[in-house]
Amino acid sequence: MRMMMLRSPSRPGIAQPARDLSVRVEALKPEAAYFATVGEGDRGGFIVFDLQETSQIPGIAEQFFLAFNAKVTFTPVMNAQDLMNTVPGIEKAVKAHAQASGS
């Protein structure tokens, strides 16, 4: 998940938001979390965690919307084992596509 906390002149210093952010990030049990400037110099970061169901997205996103006026983007990724698990489906698609295209 990529998050970007929009800049605001009325936003308080980073100490309290950092504590609030830490609580939310730890609840996701991340594999990794990186914080940086993103977009046009806004505070933000990248959080890698195991999303079990796509139905979790609204609940995860909403807490960042409400607490930080953040923009969030979810990008599904696979680890090496996940990629290996796709081989049968890829092979099936290649066979079907080859037949459909007459090759």
Summarised one tens digit per residue, pLDDT across range 28-70 is 999 999 999 998 888 899 999 999 999 999 999 999 999 888 9
CB 38 within 8 A of CB 44: yes
Q: What pLDDT, on the 0 to 100 scale, is given for residue 102?
A: 62
Predicted TM-score (pTM) of the model is 0.76
* Residue at 97: amino acid letter: H
The percentage of residues in the chain with a pLDDT greater than 90, rounded to a whole number, is 64
Helix then strand count (H, E) for the chain reads: 4, 4
How far apart are alpha carbons 61 and 39 in whole angstroms? 18
User: pLDDT higher for 45 or 10?
Assistant: 45
Q: What pLDDT, on the 0 to 100 scale, is given for residue 17?
A: 72
Per the listing, tokens 């969030």 go with 72
| Residue whose C-alpha is closest to residue 5's, from 32, 33, 45 | 45
Q: What pLDDT, on the 0 to 100 scale, is given for residue 42?
A: 87
Q: What pLDDT, on the 0 to 100 scale, is given for residue 15?
A: 62
